[in-house]
Amino acid sequence: MPMQLKSAPLLLLAAGTAVFVAGCRPVFGPHEDAGLKATEAVLSETVRGVQQYIKDGGTIPPETGNVTYLIESQGKDDWSGPYVQHLGSDAWGTAVRVRVESQSIQALSAGPDMTFGTQDDMQSLGPLPDM
């Protein structure tokens, strides 16, 4: 019995060390990997949808933070969508954000921690099409 008690702190120390080391960089298990892959697909689809929206209409989307224009015409006569199959939420239920800049389109996910501006954020980047 005393041997078990002596070894227990060593196991806790080893486990604590592993958690500390793992905490230095993201480590994802199978469930998180599936979420990352699903989110990558949503982000890529969103970028392609925005690119096609711009090609069809010849204009930048009305609101870069709101992606409902990808599935609803919003009264636009030359709308040819829907441009995506699923309205952008990542695998953790956080709404995807879109930024359209002078040369590029970014689709952004807050990642597994569901907070934008942290290390696990994800993005997909695509070129701005000619208008």
* Encoded tokens for 89: 């939420």
pLDDT 10s digits, 20-57: 223 333 444 555 678 888 999 999 999 999 999 889 88
Write the pLDDT tens digit of every residue in 77-90.
778 888 888 777 89
> What's the predicted TM-score (pTM) here?
0.71
Instruction: Look at the block and give the residue holding tokens 């501006």.
Output: 117
Q: Structure tokens of 80?
A: 């040819």
Domains of the chain: 30-127 (3.30.700.10)
